[in-house]
Structure 1
Amino acid sequence: MEQTLPRLELRDVSCRFDGAAVVDRLSLSLLPGQVTCLLGPSGCGKSTTLRMAAGVERASAGEILIDGDVVAGPGAHLPPEARGIGMMFQDFALFPHLTVRGNVGFGVRGAARDRVDELIARVGLSDKLDKYPHQLSGGEQQRVALARALAPQPRVMLMDEPFSGLDNRLRDGIRDDTLEILKEEGAAVLLVTHEPEEAMRMADQIALMRRGRIVQQGAPYNIYNNPVDAEAAAFFSDINVIHGVVKDFQCETPFGPFFCPNLRDAADVEIIIRPQHLKIDFDRQGSGPLPTTADGVPARGAVARARFMGHESLVDLRMEHDGSILKATIPGVFLPKAGTPLWLSMRRDRCFVFPCTRQSRLGDPWLHAKVQA
C-alpha cells in the first residue's frame, strides 16, 4: 500500500531567542486534508511554530518540508510567498481600502481569479461584494479572510487563533462552516489555539504543547480520555486531585485502594477524576456507610456550595476524611442546601493515576488554578 507523503513536515525544529529555546526539537507532520491543532497555554511556543512553518520566523535548527521539498533548514529558507501556503490571523488583516472582492482577489492572478466570486459565494457573502471591511460584522470579516487565504489554492493553511475575536454566539457556527470549507479544499491545516473546546471541535489530530515541546499527540477522543499526565488532564477540563502514597503496588484512599503496578513503594501519586465522573448518593440516616461497589468504597461529604450552570449543576462537597473540596457535576437541576450530607463514589474506569511530580507538589500556578475550589 502506497504511503501518503506528508503535506507539511517539521523535523526536530527549534527556535531560540536570546539563547532560550522557545521551541525545542519539535517534530510534526500533516497529511493532505488533515486538520491539526497546536494546543497549549500562552507562551508555550505555538505561534512561533506556526511562524516558522510560514517562513516569517527562521528556525534555529531542524528542517521544514512541504510535499517532501525542504523549504527551511541548513542553507535553505524559502520566503512565505514561495511556500504555497495560506495564512489567517486573529485580527483578519484585511485591507481597509479594498472591497470584499478586492480583498479576496488581492495577489491572485490568472485562472485562480475565477475562484474569487466562487469563494465569496461559498462563504455566503455574494451580497457584500462591494462592501468595505468597516461595513462588515466580525463574523463577515472572518469569512472574507478565509476566502482570501483559500483563493490561491494553498497546499497548507496556517491559522493563528482565527476565531478569538468573534462573539461567543457566532463562534461555533463560523468554526463549523470554516471546517467544512477547509475539508472540501483538501489543504493540510495547522491551527493554533489555546482553547481545548475549539481544538476538540476542529481537529483530526491535537498536538498538546508545553514549554516549547509537544508532550502528547493524537485524535481528540484519545488525548482527552488518555492524558499523559495531570497537567494534560487539567488542560481539557476541571479535575479533582486525590493524593496518596504507594505501598505494595497500590494506594489506599477513602474511596478504596487504587492499583499502581508501575510505581515503587513510598512514591507519591495523584489520582485524577473529572467532576462529571463522580457519582452522588443521598445519605440515609442510621443506615451507615453505603456498600462497596464496582466503583470502590463511597466516601462521605457535605455540600459546601451548589450552583446551576445552565445545562448541569456544579456541587462542591467538603469531604469528611480530610476537609478537602471535591467538585461533582450533575445533569439538570440539582441544588442541595449547604451542609446536606452526601456520599461520593468514583468511576474507576474514568480515574487516572499519575506519579506526583515536584512541580505539582509545589503547586504549579496554572495547574493549581484548575484544581482548587
Structure 2
Amino acid sequence: MDGANLTTARLEIRDLCRDFGGRPVVRGVSLSLQAGQVTGLLGPSGCGKSTTLRIIAGVDQQTSGEVWIDGQQVAGAGVFVPPEKRQIGLMFQDFALFPHLSVADNVAFGLKGSRTEKRLRVRELLEKVGLARFIDSFPHELSGGEQQRVALARALAPRPSIMLMDEPFSGLDNRLRDGIRDETLGILKEEGAAVLLVTHEPEEAMRMADEIALMRDGQIVQSGAPYNIYNAPVDLNAAAFFSDVNVITGVVEGALTDTAFGQFLAPGVPDGAKVDIVIRPQHLKIDFDRGGKGPSPTHDHGVWARALVDRARFIGKESLVDFRMEGDGSILTASVPSVFLPQPGTPLWIAIRRDRCFVFRHSDKPGPDAPSP
C-alpha cells in the first residue's frame, strides 16, 4: 500500500451495504478520509456505526460495496484482504489489554523487528502518553484512564495508516474524559493516521472530529464540518440530535406560517401543509413584563410573545426556564447563562432569534433521536 500519491484518500468506502437475515443494517454508506483527518461517525445506538467500522477493519464482510485503502481495494466483489494486512489500528471501549502481559509487552504485541527495536518504539509511545514509568507494570495496576492510554499506544505501535475507534472513551469517568480525549487527539495528529471515530455523543464528535458523518437507520443523512452540521441541520432529527430544541408547529398559507412570534417564511411548502419551526433554548431571548406590555418587534427577534414561567432550575453553568405560552399553552424552554430563577407564574416576554431558527416540513413520525413536537 506504499507509494500512494498525495491526492489519494487514505480510506474510502463506496456504497457499503450490510444485511443480516434480510434486514438492512448498513445502507449505501460512502466516506472518504485523508491522512491526518479525524472523522466522527455519529449516530444513535443501533444505527449501523459499529457494523460499518467492523467491515472496514475486515472482521465482518459487506453484502455489497467496496473498501479502499491508499488507492488499493481491500474489500469488494471477489476481493478480501485479511484484517492483519490492512494496516489498521483498532481501539474499543473495553481496551482489551492482555492481563497477563506487562504494559511493555501489551504495547509491543503487534510489533515486528528485534527486541531492541520493539523496546525503543514502546518507550517512545509510552513517553508520548505519559506512562513511561509504568513500562513494567501490569494492566490491573493502572487506572481506567491509564489503561486507555496503553491501549492507544498499542494500537499506534505498528504505525497504522488508519485508526478505527469504537466508543473508546465511554468507559471513563466524566472528570477524566475530556482531558484524555484531548491528549489522544494530539497524539493521533502527530502520528498522521486517518482516524474514524465511532460515537453516539455529539459533544465528543464535535470536540475531536474535523468532519462529522451523521448516521441514522443505516444511512449517512448529513456530513460536514462540526460547525456547519450543527448550524445547518438537514432536518428536525439532526437538529435535535445535537442539542435540546423547541418546536413550534404551524400551517403554511402563501409560503408563510403565522405564529405567536410573527410570520415565518416557508418557501416551497404547499398551502395547508404543516412546518416545524425549530429553535434551540439558548437562542430564546427574555424580557420583563411592563404592565402587560412587552418590547417592540425588532428585525433580529421579530414579535415578542407573553408567557408565564412554568419551572426554573439551575444546572451549574446555566439556568433552564420553562415557559407556558399564553396563546396556546405550549411549553418552550430557554437557557440563560448563570443564575436566573423566576418564580412559577411570573409573566415574562420571550422572542426567538430569527437567524437561528430552522424551518422544516413537518413529520408526523419523528425518529427515535428527535423530540415529539
5 Å-filtered alignment, 1:130-149, equals: 130-149=136-155
Residue 298, structure 1, aligned to residue 304, structure 2: yes
Q: Does residue 1:20 correspond to 2:28, yes or no?
A: no
Q: Distance in 2 between matches of 1:272 and 1:279?
A: 15
Distance in 2, Cα, partners of 1:254 & 1:358: 22
Match of 1:71 in 2: 74
Asked if the contact 2:324–2:332 (Cα under 8 Å) also holds between the matched residues in 1, the reply is yes
Deviation (angstroms), 1:358: 3.0
Deviates more, 1:294-303 or 1:269-278: 294-303
Change (3 A) 1:365 1:46: closer
- Amino acid aligned to 1:245: V
The partner residue of 2:216 within 187, 210, 215 is 210
TM-score norm. by structure 1 comes to 0.96
After TM superposition, list the pairs within 5 Å mapping 1:190-339 onto structure 2. Answer: 190-286=196-292, 288-294=293-299, 295-339=301-345
Q: Output the amino acid matched with 2:315.
A: M
Is the partner of 1:58 in helix, strand or coil? Answer: coil
User: Could you tell me which amino acid in structure 2 is paired with residue 118 of structure 1?
Assistant: E
Aligned residue in 2 for 1:121: 127
Deviation above 6 Å: which 4+ runs of structure 1? none
The answer for the alignment partner of 1:88 in structure 2 is: 91
> Number of residue pairs matched?
365
Alpha-carbon RMSD:
1.2
- Post-superposition Cα deviations, 1:351-372, rounded to whole Å, max 9, x if no partner, equal 0000002313xxx454236x6x
After TM superposition, give the deviation of residue 115 of structure 1 in Å: 1.2
2:355 aligned partner: 349
Distance across 2 between alignment mates of 1:63 and 1:134:
40
TM-score (norm 2): 0.96
Deviations 1:21-65 (A, max 9, x none): 100011001000000000000000000000000000101101000
CA displacement at 1:78 relative to structure 2:
1.1
The 1-side partners of 2:298 and 2:133 are apart by 62
- Alpha-carbon shift at residue 234 of structure 1 (Å): 0.2
Q: SS at the partner of 2:59?
A: coil
Q: Which residue of 2 aligns with 1:104?
A: 107
Give unpaired runs (5+ residues) of structure 1. none
Q: Give the superposition deviation at 1:289.
A: 3.9
Q: Is 127-136 or 203-212 further displaced after alignment?
A: 127-136
Distance 1:275 1:289 in 2: 20
Q: Which residue of 2 aligns with 1:358?
A: 364
The amino acid that maps onto 1:266 is G
8 Å CA contact 2:241–2:369 kept in 1: the answer is no
2:161 matches 1:158: no
Residues 186-215 of structure 1 show CA distances to partners (whole Å, capped at 9, x for unaligned) of: 000000000000000000000000000000
Is the 8 Å Cα contact of residues 9 and 32 (structure 2) preserved in structure 1? yes
Q: 1:171 aligns with which of 177, 181, 188?
A: 177
Helix, strand or coil at the partner of 1:127: helix
Q: Percent identity?
A: 66
CA distance in 2 between counterparts of 1:351 and 1:282 reads: 23
Shift of 1:290: 2.7
Unaligned runs of 5+ in 2: none
